[in-house]
């Protein structure tokens, strides 16, 4: 006797329930097809706002149609996982304090994939994506009903805010899709634009990444432009400012639930100066051990030392002169030496009025 296939709506609801059971905080289903924001993405690239992120224009044709990254798939199960927006702000953006979200979420989506195959009673062609392929996940998430595009360009959910990661499982199953999120609930609010220290949000929903502190401290591989170093302030890796001020995060941000995202020992309890000093003094072996499985490895140690010098140049004291001097004189990387030299000049300039006899 051949089993009757489960109705598309029932299977979709069971899949979303299982996603919640695996620890995801939002789940929705979207039908794959032409991406609504493909033209806006192409225009953004053309305006140079991607900076040195040369990987973004690659596979542009696949980004324009969500059926193309993994041929044969027709539906996307789109999920979000909260990473604790109620945690205090600090020198490291909240998302990067613990283990790498790519690994955590991909493992959960793979588990969901296995569950779906068992539920369907046959192999299911599909693949998990967590910010790892030519897929406009934010586009899919809005289409799956998870939220709208905030003026800070983040996806915002009306009951969760925006402190969450996005991921998608593409499958070859015809699933009943959710209604796309249509409303724009930002209204006349411009707090995110007003709060950005580097004016990276050039207009609502348009980010010049080359001015964004997250880009400058993570994606940029070369020197941070001198005009943007002071606005970086005490931010060593990433920036949460445009999310911190969003009224939906002020009201709905969650306590951290997923222990994998809890601050690691190398970060927990340290202020910006402490962390900057420790990173400037680290060897590569020490860094590899302390930051194993950390998303901060994306910037590499040289990038983090560059950032650390900027942080000390902005908020350091005479106690930081020695560590900066060692970096200026002994670091093999010219970029790190240049930023340490800049920081030392800043500290000297701050001391001069008090040194006059």
Residue-wise pLDDT tens digits, 235-268: 999 999 999 999 999 999 999 999 999 999 999 9
What value does the mean pLDDT of the chain take? 95
User: Measuring CA to CA, which residue among 302, 300, 307, 297 is closest to residue 333?
Assistant: 302
Structure tokens at 248: 């939906």
Task: Tell me the pLDDT tens digit for each residue of 181-233.
Answer: 999 999 999 999 999 999 999 999 999 999 999 999 999 999 999 999 999 99
How many CA atoms lie less than 13 Å away from 190 in the CB half-sphere?
A: 9
Helix (H, G, I), strand (E, B) or coil at 199: coil
What is the pTM (predicted TM-score) of this model?
0.95
pLDDT above 80 for 353: no
d(CA 281, CA 292): 18
Q: At what angle do helices 321-330 and 334-355 cross, to 10 degrees?
A: 140
Active site annotation includes 42: no
User: Measuring CA to CA, which residue among 225, 224, 237, 231 is closest to residue 272?
Assistant: 237
The active-site residue, picked from 42, 110, 131, 333, is 131
Helix (H, G, I), strand (E, B) or coil at 186: coil
Task: Tell me the pLDDT tens digit for each residue of 52-84.
Answer: 999 999 888 899 999 999 999 999 999 999 999
Band (7; pLDDT cuts 50, 70, 90): confident
Band (147; pLDDT cuts 50, 70, 90): very high
Per-domain residue ranges for the chain? 8-171, 198-238+264-351
pLDDT of residue 5: 67
Band (352; pLDDT cuts 50, 70, 90): low
What is the CA 317 to chain-centroid distance, rounded? 31
What's the CATH number of domain 198-238+264-351, 3.90.1640.10, 1.10.275.10, 1.25.10.10, 3.40.50.10330?
1.25.10.10
User: Measuring CA to CA, which residue among 349, 324, 350 is closest to residue 339?
Assistant: 324
pLDDT of residue 200: 98
């Amino acid at each position: 006797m051949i089993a009757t296939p489960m109705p598309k709506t029932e299977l979709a609801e069971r899949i979303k329930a299982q996603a919640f059971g695996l620890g995801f905080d939002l789940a929705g289903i979207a039908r794959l097809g032409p991406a609504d924001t493909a033209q806006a993405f192409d225009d953004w690239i053309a305006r140079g706002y991607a900076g040195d992120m040369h990987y973004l224009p690659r596979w542009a044709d696949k980004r324009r149609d969500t059926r193309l990254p993994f041929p044969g798939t027709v539906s996307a199960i789109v999920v979000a996982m909260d990473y604790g927006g109620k945690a205090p702000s600090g020198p490291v953006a909240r998302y990067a304090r613990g283990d790498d979200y790519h690994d955590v979420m991909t493992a959960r989506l793979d588990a969901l994939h296995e569950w779906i195959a068992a539920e369907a009673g046959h192999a299911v062609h599909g693949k998990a994506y967590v910010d790892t392929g030519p897929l406009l996940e934010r586009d899919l998430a809005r289409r799956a009903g998870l939220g709208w595009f905030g003026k800070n360009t983040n996806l915002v959910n009306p009951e969760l805010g925006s402190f969450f990661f996005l991921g998608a499982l593409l499958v070859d199953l015809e699933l009943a899709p959710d209604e796309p999120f249509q409303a724009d609930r930002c209204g006349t609010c411009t707090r995110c634009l007003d709060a950005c220290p580097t004016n990276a949000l050039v207009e609502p929903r348009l980010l010049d990444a080359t001015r964004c502190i997250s880009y400058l401290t993570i994606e940029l591989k070369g020197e941070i432009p001198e005009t943007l170093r002071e606005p970086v302030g005490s931010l060593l890796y990433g920036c949460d400012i445009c999310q911190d001020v969003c009224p939906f995060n002020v009201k709905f941000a969650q306590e951290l639930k997923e222990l994998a995202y809890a601050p690691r020992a190398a970060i927990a309890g340290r202020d910006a100066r402490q962390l900057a000093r420790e990173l400037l003094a680290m060897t590569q072996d020490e860094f590899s051990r302390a930051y194993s499985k950390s998303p901060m490895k994306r910037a590499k140690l040289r990038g983090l030392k560059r950032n650390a010098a900027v942080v000390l140049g902005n908020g350091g004291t005479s106690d930081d002169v020695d560590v900066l001097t060692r970096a200026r004189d002994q670091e093999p990387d010219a970029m790190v030496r240049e930023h340490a030299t800049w920081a030392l000049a800043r500290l000297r300039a701050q001391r001069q009025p008090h040194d006059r006899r």
